[in-house]
Homo-oligomer: A and B are copies of this chain.
Amino acid sequence: MIRLDSRAADFSDAFARLLSVKREISEDVDETVRGIIAGVVSGGDAALVDYSRRFDRLGEDFSEATLRFTDEEIEAAMAQCPPATLAALRLAAERIETYHRLQIPEDYIATDDLGVTSGWRWTALESVGLYVPGGTASYPSSVLMNAIPARVAGVPRVAMVVPTPEGRLNPLVLAAAQISGVTEIFRIGGAQAVAALAYGTQSVAPVAKIVGPGNAYVAAAKRRVFGQVGIDMIAGPSEVLILADGHANPDWIAADLLAQAEHDEAAQAILITTSDTLAEQVEQAVERALGTMSREKIARASWRDYGAIITVANFDEAVPLVDRLAPEHLEIETEDAEALSLKIRNAGAIFLGSHTPEAIGDYVGGPNHVLPTARSARFSSGLSVLDFMKRTSILRCDPAALRALGPAAIALGHSEGLDGHARSVAIRLNL
């Protein structure tokens, strides 16, 4: 953890260093992934079985016939889940759906004075593939956050893939898929699953877009199939930035910083405060709390390597720092949190006030928890219904409209050396 003070002479350099820290180790797995994709394209289901047996250490009972989970298997998994957790998942699903329904965009079409009819029409993607990691990173909440916006958008087919290393799978992941309206689930993962979704096999019909988090192989495979299909953003390690004044509760702030730090040793948690006292108290509270954590090792490494506490003279001074950090998650626990939030341009999600720990947003708040990381909130947004739709523009000229606009189009066509463009207009006007 580093302590910075905006009053220090070297603050500007120190802050620039904090900004430029690379937290992600990029493994070079591209050649391996290229081979796996080619294998699935040529080998289909048989290749999927082969790769899955090898990489997920599965036995002979894993075959073409068991690639897809049956309805009975999904029902059985749901029956294994603690009812209280299922109820929590259902509450989360309801709130996520309600929030995302508000994002459904409107079509527009109108005719102007010249007789030009123009506008646009939104349509849902025809199909979406949802990647869900296996093992400890297999989060049912992520299934909800990716699948529900697709369903709300009206995507008729949502195919999920999830690897089952050694045959193990968190039944809550299947429950979350069922609750979210996922239409088919395959027990495959890695680059081979991405290839199957992009190119199709005998059992897996290809999709139009692939979303969801994954390891370095999955990320490399998504980059490689991009163009053949759409992909979502490639997520980096998670991060939180907290703005807090002297009234904030240091134990609460410490808990929020560590909730972020426990994700991943590459996660980042930063506090910016106007209070030297709070800075001191939070530093101590973090140390105390670390010892009580089940994921202490991860959280301690993240806090040690990437954590920061920055003191500033006032929050106006903090605003440009926030915009440069462009945090995935921004908590504002200050007296006038909302007014301060309106000054911020770059943040994936903002959590206002002291009773809105980011974990509420991770699960049950309603907004999406798939958010831009690694400063990409400067130019991108969290996952939404729009990511599962696309817009077709519409244009119609009546003869009078073409007469009115045609000459300008002809002039511009000729000016660009595209005489054929000009001619396609002129021929209709007998020009």
Are B87 and A362 closer than 8 Å at their CB atoms? no
A408: contacting residue among B92, B108, B229, B354, CB under 8 A: B92
Segment at the B interface, from A43-51, A189-197, A377-385: A377-385
Are A421 and B92 closer than 8 Å at their CB atoms? no
Instruction: Flag A332-375 by CB within 8 Å of B: 1 or 0 each.
Output: 00000110011011111111111111111111111110011010
Are B367 and A409 closer than 8 Å at their CB atoms? no
A259: contacting residue among B347, B356, B392, B423, CB under 8 A: B423
Q: B residues within 8 A CB of A314?
A: none
Segment at the B interface, from A63-71, A161-169, A270-278, A393-401: A393-401
* A406 on interface, CB distance cutoff 8 Å: yes
Number of identical monomers bound together in the oligomeric complex: 2
Q: B residues within 8 A CB of A384?
A: 391
Q: Bound state CA distance, A366 and B404, in angstroms?
A: 14
Q: Among A209, A407, A425, which residue has the most Cβ atoms of chain B within 10 A? A: A425
For residue A183, give the distance in angstroms from its CB to the closest CB of chain B: 17
* A251 on interface, CB distance cutoff 8 Å: yes
Are B89 and A412 closer than 8 Å at their CB atoms? yes
Are A427 and B125 closer than 8 Å at their CB atoms? no
Instruction: Flag A407-431 by CB within 8 Å of B: 1 or 0 each.
Output: 1110111011111111111011000
Are A259 and B421 closer than 8 Å at their CB atoms? yes
Are B355 and A399 closer than 8 Å at their CB atoms? yes
Are B208 and A344 closer than 8 Å at their CB atoms? no
Number of A residues near B (Cβ < 8 Å) is 123
Q: Bound state CA distance, A293 and B423, in angstroms?
A: 9
A352: contacting residue among B91, B377, B395, CB under 8 A: B395
Are B355 and A413 closer than 8 Å at their CB atoms? no
For residue A403, give the distance in angstroms from its CB to the closest CB of chain B: 9
For residue A19, give the distance in angstroms from its CB to the closest CB of chain B: 12
* A6 on interface, CB distance cutoff 8 Å: no
Q: B residues within 8 A CB of A291?
A: none
For residue A92, give the distance in angstroms from its CB to the closest CB of chain B: 7
* A140 on interface, CB distance cutoff 8 Å: yes
Q: B residues within 8 A CB of A399?
A: 355
Instruction: Flag A221-259 by CB within 8 Å of B: 1 or 0 each.
Output: 000000101100010000000000000000110011011
For residue A352, give the distance in angstroms from its CB to the closest CB of chain B: 4
Are A366 and B409 closer than 8 Å at their CB atoms? no
Given A88-B412, A351-B395, A351-B396, A421-B362 contact (CB < 8 Å): yes
Q: B residues within 8 A CB of A352?
A: 117, 394-396
Enumerate 23 A-B pairs (CB-CB under 8 Å) in ascending A order.
A85-B412, A91-B408, A121-B342, A126-B378, A140-B412, A251-B427, A255-B420, A262-B419, A293-B420, A295-B417, A295-B419, A346-B390, A351-B396, A353-B397, A355-B428, A361-B393, A361-B395, A362-B412, A365-B397, A372-B390, A377-B390, A380-B390, A381-B390
